[in-house]
Amino acid sequence: MAKLEIKKYGEPVLRKKATAVSEITEDIKKLAVDMLETMYAAPGAGLAAAQVGVSLRLCVIDVSPDQKSPLVMINPKVIAGDNEVSAKEGCLSFPGCYESVKRFGNVVAEYIDLKGKKRKIKSEEWFLSKAIQHEIDHLDAKLFIDYLSEWKRKTIEKEIKRRKKAGQW
C-alpha cells in the first residue's frame, strides 16, 4: 500500500475527461487500494482517480464514521436520482473550501466492482448520494465549484490564487 499525492485545483488532470477502465488488472486493484489509503489518511469520504493523477473512470467512497465500508466503483454511472437537497460539501482537491451544492438526495448508480462484477447501488442517504455524484462528476472533469454562482466561484479562485502566492496551495 502507498499513500498517493492528491492533486489540487489547478492541475490539468482534474479538467480531463477520464477514460473507461477496460480490464481489471493488478495495477487497477493496487490503484484502488492506494486510493482508499490516501482518502482515509486525508481524511475524506471520496476520491476519484484523477485526483491522484490517473485519468481513469474509477473512484472510491466511504462515508462510514469508522472507515470500514469502502466502496470501489469502476466505470460508474448515475442512472436515476430524485429528491434534490442542498448541503455543504468539500473536495480533497480544494482543501479548506466548503460550499453548498444542490444534488439528488436519492440516487441509483451502476458500476463494476474489483471482481469485474456489474453492481447497482441504491442510496437514500443524502451524504452517500452526494459523494457518489461528486466522485462521478470528477470522472467527467466536473468540479463542485462548477455548481456555484459566478461570484462565489470567483471568490474561491481568488482565495486559491492568494494561497498559491503564499505557498499554501
Cβ closest to Zn ion, residue 58 vs residue 91: 91
14 lies in the site for Zn ion, by CB under 5 A? no
What residues form DSSP beta bridges with 89?
A: 99
Q: Give one word for 75, left, alpha or beta, with left for phi > 0 and alpha for psi -120 to 50.
A: left
The least distance separating Zn ion from the CB of residue 152, rounded to whole angstroms, comes to: 17
Catalytic one of 124, 135, 150, 157: 135
Cβ closest to Zn ion, residue 31 vs residue 91: 91
The least distance separating Zn ion from the CB of residue 65, rounded to whole angstroms, comes to: 20
Q: Which residues contact 62 (CB under 8 A, 6 or more apart)?
A: 36, 39, 40, 45, 46, 68, 69, 70, 71
The least distance separating Zn ion from the CB of residue 26, rounded to whole angstroms, comes to: 26
Cβ closest to Zn ion, residue 44 vs residue 105: 44
Contact (CB, 8 A) for 46 and 94: no
What is the DSSP pairing of strand 99-112 with strand 71-89? antiparallel
Nearest to 135 by CA among 66, 41, 65, 70: 70
35 lies in the site for Zn ion, by CB under 5 A? no
Q: State the number of binding residues for Zn ion (CB under 5 A).
A: 1
89: annotated active-site residue: no
Site for Zn ion in 87-106 (CB under 5 A): 91
The least distance separating Zn ion from the CB of residue 150, rounded to whole angstroms, comes to: 20
Q: Is the preceding omega at residue 43 within 30 degrees of 0, hence cis?
A: yes
- Which residues are annotated as catalytic? 135
Binding site for Zn ion (CB under 5 A): 91
